Each structure stands twice: as structure tokens, then as C-alpha cells.
Structure 1
């Protein structure tokens, strides 16, 4: 049966989806994910701007520094299991309880260890800065709450992400109201770090609620040491890759905080905020398409690579559609959103927005590597990007500050997503597909 929304599509699109029930499920799921991210993008940007204007570049930079440091440890806390667990839940539905229970136990333990590590790190980097230490200690609690996202993986495997949207958006909207109240009360910066932790806790509770409302029960989960060893064996390259990726994603703000000051971090963070609001696009698309890509690989190699090329084309198209107008209007965007205090972020945004193009491609390329079972290859490509990023930051930050960090980010993302494909022969085909997508992107 066609889903109701199909009847509202334009005629040429309706003909493409009518009778194709699997495609309708994917599009419906993607729509929910897009709706979730659009809401977060809109509300999050408005609330974030209000917070940035209230705190000013220096205190906003301190908040961003703490968030970036915690973010580096996020991949260690989630153990790189997302794609593996979704894949296994699709392949082995009869082992659902064992897979979910083992995943939760591993993530909970990893979250606690990550929390202790991030606290130790901030004490080393800022041994005389008690405010930074306290903020990291509070914000770091999200690393533990991330274990509840195991439920999210179950809904992904069923292509039913709307329930996750209900849970996480409820937490997000409540925490956004809390942040607005903190601005009105002229609260100290530590209060905004606490709001992040509260959102993570509410999100975990919401996921448990929708899972049980769907008729599922956590008590049916069970932990298997044998499966835990198997998952860790499969995921350790992804864990290392995720850590490397998060270092590449967040090290610029941490290095700016160490080599410049929190004022420069605040300016840079405002540009990052605008660039990152578009990250939901590749994530939403790939989350919905990945289960079908796995199925295509098992049935037809031609269909598998055909679907992958279409995914590359679409993500390249969306990358250009965002980067070109933002490049032309970056200064206007920063002035309208953040005001004169942040106007120095305009050139930083110009470089950062082009890194979104390579992030789009990288997310799709990573799904290909997972489907092929080449997770170790993902690791080395991520390492190449991280090394380039850190090296360029060391050279460019002292000379150009935040603009140097933005240039380093853009170059390193291209290396990790595309350039590194040509250093390993089995990836030459994928590299060529990405080149075609970059040179001739297509919406459909």
C-alpha cells in the first residue's frame, strides 16, 4: 500500500515511487531524519546565536573549547559500532536481544572510561584553569549517556527513525527552552555546559520510552562475552578511525585554544556552527540508504555500485548547492546572525563551508568501506586526514589564526575523503566514482 504522502508528490516524482514499497520506506525514513535535523538546525542555530551574543567571543570560545575536547572522545565512547550493529541486526534478526545487550554493555563501559580520560586530559592541558576543568567534567557526562543510543541502532535497522526523532527532539526542545531561560537569567557559562548534560540524559530516557512503547523490552537483552569479543575484533579499526576523525573534526578548536586564546576560538566556533548545520544531510541520507546498500551487495555487484554512484552524485550535488551561495554571502550571514563582534568569522566560514562537500562524500565512502568489510582501510584514510590537519594547523594557526585552522580543515577533509583513495589500488574504483560525482554531480 502506498504511504499517504506519496499522493502529494508532483506527478513525475509520484510515478517513480508508486508501487515501490521499499523506496517509499527509505524516503519516509529519510524525511523523518531530515525533519529532525531541520528542526535542530533552525532552533539550534537561533538558540546558539542568542547564547553566542550573550556570552561574547571569549566565554563562547570557552564553552566551545570544552565541547570540542569532549567531542574528541565521543568516538571512543560509542566504539564505532553503528554500521556494524545495523548490519548485523538486518542480517541476524533472531539474535536481536544478544546484539543489543552486548552493544549496550560495551558502550556503557567505554563511556565511563572515556569520561575519565577526558577529565584527565583537561587537567593536563589546563592544569591552572578550574573553570575549564569543571565545564569538561560536566559536559563529559554525555559520553556515558551515549550508551542509550543502542536503541537508536535498532530503529535504524528497521528503517523507522521517526520514533528516535520523537525521543531526541523532545529532549532537544526542552533543553533549548532551558538554555533560553539561562540567557534571560544571565547565568554563568558553566550553566550552559550543564544544559548539554541534561539534554543527553533526557534523550536517553526518551529512547527507552519509545522502545518500550513499541512493545520491546530491555530486560530481554543479554550480554555475550563471545559476541563482545567478536564485535570488538570487527570494530577496533572503526574505533580508532572514529577517534582519528573526531580529532580531525575538533582538534582545530582545541589547538586554537592552546596556541591562541578563547576569543579566537569563539570567533572560529561561530563559523563552525554555520558550517556544521548542514552535516545532517549526508547522515540522514546514508542512514536510510545503508541497509539497502548492504542488501544490494549480496544480490548484484552491478546494482551495488550503481546505487553507490547515485549516492555519491547526490551528496556532491548537495555539497555544491550549499557551498557556492554560502561562499558568496558568508560575510552577510555572519553579520546578520552574530553581529559585528563576530565579523572576523566570515573568511573562516568561506573555507569551512567547502569542507562540507568532502564530508558529504566521506560519509558515503565510509558506507562503501563498511559494506566491503574494509574498516581497517577507513582507519588509514582517516589517519592521513588527521596528520595533514594537525600539521597544517601547527603551521597556519600561528600565522593566520582561525582562518589558518579553516584552511587546514578543508584540505585535510579532501585528503581523507577523496585524495587518499588513490594511494590504495582496491580503492581506485571508488576514487574514480567520487571524481565523477565531483565533476558531474546529479540530483537524481
Structure 2
């Protein structure tokens, strides 16, 4: 089953690699669009039902666990996908070793989470309970190898089927909880149950369409190689998570859970479209790797096309949302969340730099320069933490949103320019900010035989 539109299929039908990429992107779009539509509807209903304070506590717990998720993930996704594409014969060993590494790190992350929340919220048993339950997701990180496999094969449709099937079931369960006026803790258990079921089914499907679990192999030597290649990505992922989530945690600790609830409404609106750059970058990455084998000229042309596309899409979203955010928040979340509207109009511009960072991250991976990404993100992280510490006491939620955008711009454009080996990537990304030229280059690329 192919999802690309018929008119587009006819246009690119003679380019099989592009057809495969577009079909994969369409599946990822379908996945995220469905989750965006249903998830936004159910998420907004939950937010209205719980109110800013309880919704803020749930958001605080989710953000807190997210800080440790990078430890459990090990930064392995891009590394595993890259290695499977480069050496398909070693796929079983790569997947098996990655699973063991993620299982061990998930356990370590879970223990760290329990200790940290006990320190931060010693007098809040509800917060500690919620975090302890949701943190069990860390123990399921080993199942991510199924997603890595399907991404390496450009077959994300299987991941889409599983995630959306389970998602729809639990969306209905959450609606039922609202109608039954269930307590907050019931929604927490439902969130955990959804992740557990997705993990189990994905592993089963991988065994059906790819390497079976019993045939996976574990190698100490392979584990050392994976850790050596991924440690910069681990540090980078931790830094990314900190500067993406620290605003919610600092708001919760410095102002209160209600502020987190209002800010979370902002984030839901301004980040709801992030599936678009994520899907495009994930689907195009294998083609970029193949281009690198053939021609440096074609390789960098494809990279520039990807950068151009990221900027065009993100600016096209940010401009209208700057003006529509307030009425949209009022319509969806209601009067208690109306203060989130102007904040979302600021926060939405961070998406431009997030998209840039996603695209450049793949270039770093292709060049085996992933360790450089840590320095960029660390720069953004430090900027965000210091900025939040200075601005939140005076400007509250507005200060947090502003510092998120500033820190993302620092990490995407300014930090790489300080290093000789990656300065050119900043030049390419800055070139994409000229929207008119980006559109022209993309049009020329699409009409040629050298495009993505």
C-alpha cells in the first residue's frame, strides 16, 4: 500500500529511490497527523478536565522523566540505522547488542529518576508516585530496536500501524476515564500501559517482518563500538532534553505547577507540527548516505535541499501561528489557559531552529562528527538555564518561552560557526534563511534528476 498522492506518484514514478522515500514520509505523516488530530482532541479534553494545576503536575512529571530518557536511549538510533545501512550482514548483532545496552541504561535511568524526584519534591507524595509510575517506561527502551530496524529499511509503515492502533485504543480509554471522572493517577497508569503494549507488539512485528528476537546476537566488541560512536550523541541528547524541558521544570520549581500547566498548553500548540521535519529527515537520511558514496557534489546538494525545505516549512508554520495562537488556545483549552496564547506566539519560532538542528544532526552523523553536536547543544543548554534563571522571576512564562527560542537559535546557527570543521554547515543553514532563494533552489532540484 502506497500513500503518496497520485499526481506526485506520476511525477516521480521513474525515480524508485525517491518514490520509496516519499512513501515512507507519507506513512510517517499519516502516523503523526492521526496522532496530532486525535491526540490534540483528547489531550485538550484532559487538560480542561484536570485544570492547569493537575495538568501542570502531569506535564512536570513527563518533562522530568524526559530529562533521563536520553540516558536510556543512549543516542543509538542514528548510529544503529547508519550501521545497518552500511553493513546489513551485521544487523542481528547490531540490534541485539543495542537492545542489551538500552535495557541496562534504562534501569540506571529509572534509579536516578527515583532519587532525583525524592530530592526535588520531598513533601509531594503525589508527584513522587506519578514519576515512579511513568519512569517505568525507561525499562522498555530496549524495544526501540524494532523502530530502528524499520527506519533502516525505510519501512516506517509497520511502526505506524502499531503505534496508531494502540494509540486509538488508549485514546478511547482516556475519554472513558474523563467521562467516569477518574482521578489523575488513572491517566498515569493508562499512559504507562500504552507504552508497554506498543513495545511488545513492535517487537513481535519486527520478528515477523525482519530479524526474530531469538536470532539476535550480543557482542561485547560491538557494544564497545556502539558506545564509542554514540557517547557524543548521548551527551548531546541529554543537553537537548535539558534545554527543551528545563523551562517546564524551572517554572514548576520557581513558580508552581499551574504555571507549568499553562506553559504546557503553549508547547502543545507550538510543537504539534514537529512531526513534519522529523518524518522528512528520518526518511531522507538513507538517501543522503547513498549520495555520499557516489558524489560529494550530489551529497551537499541534497543537504542544501534538505536545509531549504526545513526552513520553508517551519517559517510557513510560524508566521500564521504568531497571530492565531491566542484565539486557538482560547478555543481549545478554555479561559483558564488563555494566558498561553501570546506565549505560544513566541515559542512557535523555536521550530525554525529545531528543524535546522534536526537536518544538520544527520550531516554530523554522516560525517562521523556527531561529537560536535554535543558542544552546540551544550551551548544552547547553558544559555537556556542561565536565561531562565534570570528571566523567569521577572517575566514568568514569557521569559521561559523567549529563552527557549534564543537558546535554540544559538545551538543551531551560532555555536557551529565557532568550529572550523562545521562552520560551513552554519553557512548552508544561514543560506536557507533567504526564503526566496530556498524556494528557487528546491524547485530546480525537484525538476532535476539529482534531487532527494
Q: TM-score, normalised by structure 1?
A: 0.97
| Partners of 1:5 and 1:207 in 2: CA distance | 21
Is 1:199 aligned to 2:186, yes or no? no
Deviations 1:43-82 (A, max 9, x none): 1100000000000000000000000000111111110011
Partner of 1:9: 6
Query: Aligned pair count?
Result: 439
Is 1:286 aligned to 2:289, yes or no? no
| Partners of 2:166 and 2:412 in 1: CA distance | 33
Distance change >3 Å, CA 35–CA 250, structure 1 → 2:
same
Partner of 2:309: 314
2:314 alignment partner, SS class: helix
Deviations 1:272-293 (A, max 9, x none): 0111211111110011011111
Distance change >3 Å, CA 306–CA 16, structure 1 → 2:
farther
Does the 8 Å CA contact 2:2/2:23 hold for their aligned counterparts?
no
1:288 alignment partner, SS class: helix
Q: TM-score, normalised by structure 2?
A: 0.95
Choose which of 30, 35, 47 in structure 2 pairs with 1:35.
30
Deviations 1:135-193 (A, max 9, x none): 00011111111220111101111100000111111221122112111111111112212
Partner of 1:250: 245
Is 1:121 aligned to 2:131, yes or no? no
C-alpha deviation, 1:108, in angstroms: 0.6
| Partners of 1:416 and 1:194 in 2: CA distance | 36
| Partners of 1:9 and 1:313 in 2: CA distance | 25
2:422 alignment partner, SS class: helix
Is 1:439 aligned to 2:439, yes or no? no
Does the 8 Å CA contact 1:29/1:288 hold for their aligned counterparts?
yes
Q: Structure 1 residue runs of 4+, over 6 Å off?
A: none
Partner of 2:170: 175
Choose which of 40, 55, 58 in structure 1 pairs with 2:53.
58
Is 1:221 aligned to 2:208, yes or no? no
| Partners of 1:266 and 1:148 in 2: CA distance | 31
Does the 8 Å CA contact 1:171/1:206 hold for their aligned counterparts?
no
Choose which of 122, 127, 135 in structure 2 pairs with 1:132.
127
| Partners of 2:9 and 2:191 in 1: CA distance | 41
Partner of 2:291: 296
C-alpha deviation, 1:425, in angstroms: 1.6
C-alpha deviation, 1:16, in angstroms: 3.9
Partner of 1:71: 66
| Partners of 2:275 and 2:249 in 1: CA distance | 23
Equivalent residues in 2 for 1:71-150 (5 A)? Answer: 71-150=66-145
Does the 8 Å CA contact 1:146/1:200 hold for their aligned counterparts?
no
| Partners of 1:4 and 1:288 in 2: CA distance | 15
C-alpha deviation, 1:4, in angstroms: 6.2
Does the 8 Å CA contact 1:151/1:211 hold for their aligned counterparts?
yes
| Cα RMSD after superposing both structures | 1.3
Partner of 1:424: 419
C-alpha deviation, 1:420, in angstroms: 1.1
| Partners of 1:177 and 1:265 in 2: CA distance | 26
C-alpha deviation, 1:298, in angstroms: 2.0
Does the 8 Å CA contact 2:3/2:26 hold for their aligned counterparts?
no
| Partners of 2:94 and 2:204 in 1: CA distance | 20
Partner of 2:446: none
Choose which of 403, 407, 411 in structure 2 pairs with 1:408.
403
| Partners of 1:76 and 1:87 in 2: CA distance | 20
Distance change >3 Å, CA 196–CA 426, structure 1 → 2:
same
C-alpha deviation, 1:211, in angstroms: 1.5
Partner of 1:337: 332
2:279 alignment partner, SS class: helix
Choose which of 355, 379, 388 in structure 2 pairs with 1:384.
379
C-alpha deviation, 1:9, in angstroms: 3.1
C-alpha deviation, 1:15, in angstroms: 5.4
2:346 alignment partner, SS class: helix
- Note the residue ranges of structure 2 that are not aligned, 5 or more in a row: 444-452
1:45 alignment partner, SS class: helix
| Partners of 2:242 and 2:189 in 1: CA distance | 23
Partner of 2:151: 156
| Partners of 2:210 and 2:419 in 1: CA distance | 47
Is 1:358 aligned to 2:360, yes or no? no
C-alpha deviation, 1:375, in angstroms: 1.2
Is 1:397 aligned to 2:383, yes or no? no
